């Protein structure tokens, strides 16, 4: 008897399927890191989604008996997670960032940036005043920029990305959150499509994965667009360009905030004289630096070498 047939015949309740899913996930050595960090939370998301129940789960339903059709629906999600190594967020089409829900699919990265914590704190202490203009550069799903629109309700926010497919997802999320009066999506290779614009904050989660790390990534990450991950041998190809050009697109008191993840050490080695400020996090995460426009201008020659 195969696993699916056994499950159909012997599992009865929501709790049964959750336990079975966790056991199967553990048996197959799945990788987590796209919104969850363990087998239970991953199984919970998928089972609740298949049953059209709240994603956080509800103890009142755990001992509810499933119909045969519901069992098949649940198994379909759990088996795809195992056999295809597709992260739960892509299977459900939903992800959360800074407490907000976003649509995601394989055209964009699954939100997981520590920028969420900084945005929820109003990007303090790096802003002297609430920003009027914000750029989410390399926006993907638009989660960072849209979260900023919530945090700063008087700000105009631009979402930019080189990928037209990513921008289509960002447009869906602009509509989902009803922020189209203040948030727009623009196609641009770095700043090429933003001539004449200046921003109080440029916030970016650009590609920053180096070649070695990209090759070593678990299968789950290879469902994400390589364009949004890979950035040359040391992971800094895009960031180098950004450091050269960003000052021109910042207001006089403007601030650049960029996530480079585990390429942070390579960045400091490449630019040992640059006074990068590294954000600290209470809830985990690292690799986000802050530079003011004045600092970018003062060190321009170092960036263009």
pLDDT at 57: 77
| CATH code given to domain 3-92 | 1.10.8
What gap in Å lies between CA 188 and CA 161, rounded to an integer? 5
pLDDT at 52: 94
- Give domain limits for the chain: 3-92, 106-304
Question: What does the chain come to in residues?
Answer: 305
Q: Indicate the pTM of the whole model.
A: 0.94
Residue 183 is inside which H or E element, if any? strand 183-187
pLDDT in tens, the chain (305 residues): 477 787 787 889 999 999 999 999 999 999 999 989 999 999 999 999 999 998 887 788 889 999 999 999 999 999 999 999 999 999 999 999 999 999 999 999 999 999 999 999 999 999 989 999 999 999 999 999 999 999 999 999 999 999 999 999 999 999 999 999 999 999 999 999 999 999 999 999 999 898 999 899 999 999 999 999 988 889 999 999 999 999 999 999 999 999 999 899 999 999 999 999 999 998 878 899 999 999 999 999 988 86
CB atoms < 10 A from the CB of 18, how many?
Answer: 22
CATH superfamily to which 106-304 belongs: Vaccinia Virus protein VP39 (3.40.50.150)
Cβ contacts of 14 within 8 Å, gap of 6 or more? 47, 51, 61, 62, 63, 64, 66
* 260-to-28, 47, 206, 238, 240 alpha-carbon distances in Å: 31, 34, 7, 10, 11
CB atoms < 10 A from the CB of 142, how many?
Answer: 32
């Amino acid at each position: 008897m195969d696993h699916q047939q056994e499950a159909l015949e012997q599992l009865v309740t929501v709790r049964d399927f959750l336990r079975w899913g966790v056991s199967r996930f553990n048996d197959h050595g799945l990788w987590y890191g796209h919104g969850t960090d363990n087998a239970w939370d991953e199984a919970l998301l998928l089972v609740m989604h298949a049953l059209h129940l709240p994603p956080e789960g509800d103890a009142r339903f755990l001992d509810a008996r499933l119909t045969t059709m519901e069992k098949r629906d649940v198994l379909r999600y759990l088996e795809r997670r195992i056999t295809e190594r597709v992260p739960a967020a892509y299977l459900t089409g939903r992800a959360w960032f800074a407490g907000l829900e976003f649509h995601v699919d394989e055209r964009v990265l699954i939100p997981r940036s520590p920028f969420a914590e900084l945005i929820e704190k109003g990007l303090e202490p790096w802003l002297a005043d609430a920003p009027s203009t914000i750029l989410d550069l390399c926006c993907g799903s638009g989660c960072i920029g849209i979260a900023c629109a919530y945090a700063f309700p008087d700000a105009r926010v631009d979402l930019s990305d080189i990928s037209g497919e990513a921008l289509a997802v960002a447009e869906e999320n602009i509509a989902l959150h009803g922020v189209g009066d203040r948030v727009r999506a623009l196609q641009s290779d770095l700043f090429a499509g933003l001539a004449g614009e200046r921003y109080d904050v440029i916030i970016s989660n650009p590609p920053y994965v180096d070649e070695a790390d990209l090759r070593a990534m678990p299968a789950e990450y290879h469902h994400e667009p390589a364009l949004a991950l890979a950035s040359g041998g040391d992971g800094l190809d895009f960031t180098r360009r950004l450091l050269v050009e960003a000052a021109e697109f910042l207001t006089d008191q403007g601030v650049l905030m960029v996530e480079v993840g585990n390429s942070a050490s390579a960045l400091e080695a490449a630019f040992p004289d640059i006074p990068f400020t590294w954000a600290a996090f209470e809830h985990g995460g690292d690799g986000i630096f802050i530079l003011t426009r004045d600092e970018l201008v003062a060190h321009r020659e170092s960036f263009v070498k």
